[in-house]
Structure 1
Amino acid sequence: MKVMLFAAGLGTRLRPLTDTMPKAMVPVAGRPLIDIVLRHLIAQGATEVVVNVHHFAQQIVDFVTQHEWPVPVRISDETDELLNTGGGLRHAAPLFAQDGAPILIHNVDILSNAPIAAFYKQNLQADATLMVSQRDTQRYLLFDDDMRLRGWTNIATGEVKSPFDHIEVDKLQRYAFSGIHMFSPRLFDLMAGRPAAFPIMDFYLEACAKADIRGYVQPDLHLLDVGKLNTLHEAESFVRELGL
């Protein structure tokens, strides 16, 4: 299982901690976030990992290189320019084995009980598969009855994004995105012409008219975004509870 671990973000929601360190190095239960998430992904079957870096990049590079890992862990350097999620993935592509297998994408500030190994094995055929769940939020991805991605909506503002004309939001299923997804290298061709930096979700919302991009509903998903100061205490309990 190839894994892209997004760790390049500025971590602005975790200030003042991230005034002196990247969010990947913020400690939870006495360990840097990247150590918790990286070891969890390896335990779930990761065979190679690429970590992108930008904000206080050298701290992450030092941490990765100073530890021994049972699988290759490579660094995708974005110190010159933060490339966002889509651009970051495209920039990291040459660092992966060129075997056509999907890339599992995970954020460094997400903790969950998601069965990553099972999710990966069950979703090898689509061009992309987004792990979703039934969760109360303002922003939802929209899917048809076959769980093919059709758009996105913000129910608070009524905004809708979709490449399809006359989309009927009320007739589509809506689910919350987990931040965990699978990406087939087949999709890199559809990224041609995009700027160096772009969000991968914007790409998905355009590419779903041309490619097989699906949702996978993960039941009983317990997910914690550790991107805010007020979640750090909860994160410590979460890590201990799940044995991460």
Structure 2
Amino acid sequence: MKAFLLAAGLGTRLRPLTNHTPKCMVTIGEKPLLGIWLNHLALCGIREVLINTHHLADRVADFLDSWPKDILKIHPVHEPFLLGSAGTLLANRDFIHGKENFLIVYADNLCNYRLSKLLQAQQANRERGALLTMALFKASDPSSCGIAELDATGCITGFEEKPEKPVSNLANAGIYAASPEIFTFLKAGSEGHQPYDIGQHLLPRITGKMYGLPMEGYLRDIGTPESLEIARREWRELQPLLRPETL
């Protein structure tokens, strides 16, 4: 099983911390966020992961060089210019072979969600024509998130980034399970968009062909100093949930 771990963000909202530390290397409980994600992916059955880098890429590369090679096979890919989340998928489509579903994860979230559940859901949804299954959470401020509208079957019939008038509070968690057929829509939608974004340029194109799955567990974007401090405090209490027997 494979995963894209999107880790090339600049972390502008976390400056000055990210002037010298890549956003994905910010520490939570003395561990880099990237390391937490690699452990989590391995516990959920992922065996290969592609990680894109850009800002302070040497720092990320040094960390990945020290990562145990028997746990995960890691494919670091440097982007001299940011491609955007969907642009990274498109540029590295050869990472995905065959017909197996795969994960797409934003590395700037802190999460203990059981990712194997999302893959299982996508396998079932694929039989109904789904290209992608999106993990959803209930947002306290829906106007600041990507909001999904679902029908009675769980199919996402509408999706809008940061809507002025949200139709629901079910928000995109930045975690997806997808089938290789998604690349057909990535190629068709990439023209004229640089960088090319999943939320803005891909998801609105595939409404009706993706499903939502309300997630259980902890999720927090660590993108601001305030949110980072909250995450560090809360994670100390939640870490036992990441034991292998709970996944």
Deviation at 1:158, TM superposition (A): 3.2
1:40-59 equivalences in 2 (<5 Å) = 40-59=40-59
Report the Cα distance in structure 1 between the residues aligned to 2:116 and 2:231, rounded to whole angstroms: 22
1:12-51 equivalences in 2 (<5 Å) = 12-51=12-51
Report the Cα distance in structure 2 between the residues aligned to 1:51 and 1:155, rounded to whole angstroms: 27
Report the Cα distance in structure 1 between the residues aligned to 2:53 and 2:213, rounded to whole angstroms: 29
The TM-score normalised by the length of structure 1 is: 0.85
1:204-243 equivalences in 2 (<5 Å) = 204-208=203-207, 212-218=209-215, 220-243=216-239
SS in 2 for 1:182: strand
Report if aligned partners of 2:138, 2:171 keep a CA contact under 8 Å in 1: yes
Report the Cα distance in structure 1 between the residues aligned to 2:49 and 2:33, rounded to whole angstroms: 15
Report if aligned partners of 2:48, 2:72 keep a CA contact under 8 Å in 1: yes
User: Which structure 1 segments of 5+ residues have no match?
Assistant: 160-168
Partner of 2:202: 203
Partner of 2:178: 183
User: Which structure 2 segments of 5+ residues have no match?
Assistant: 243-247
Report the Cα distance in structure 2 between the residues aligned to 1:179 and 1:186, rounded to whole angstroms: 19
Letter in 2 for 1:134: K
Partner of 1:162: none
- 1:146 equivalent to 2:153? Answer yes
Report the Cα distance in structure 1 between the residues aligned to 2:87 and 2:185, rounded to whole angstroms: 13
Percent identical residues: 29
SS in 2 for 1:188: helix
Report the Cα distance in structure 2 between the residues aligned to 1:27 and 1:234, rounded to whole angstroms: 13
Report if aligned partners of 1:101, 1:185 keep a CA contact under 8 Å in 2: yes
Report the Cα distance in structure 2 between the residues aligned to 1:134 and 1:233, rounded to whole angstroms: 21
Letter in 2 for 1:13: R
Report the Cα distance in structure 2 between the residues aligned to 1:13 and 1:54, rounded to whole angstroms: 16
Change in 2 beyond 3 A, CA 1:190/1:239: same
Report the Cα distance in structure 2 between the residues aligned to 1:62 and 1:143, rounded to whole angstroms: 43
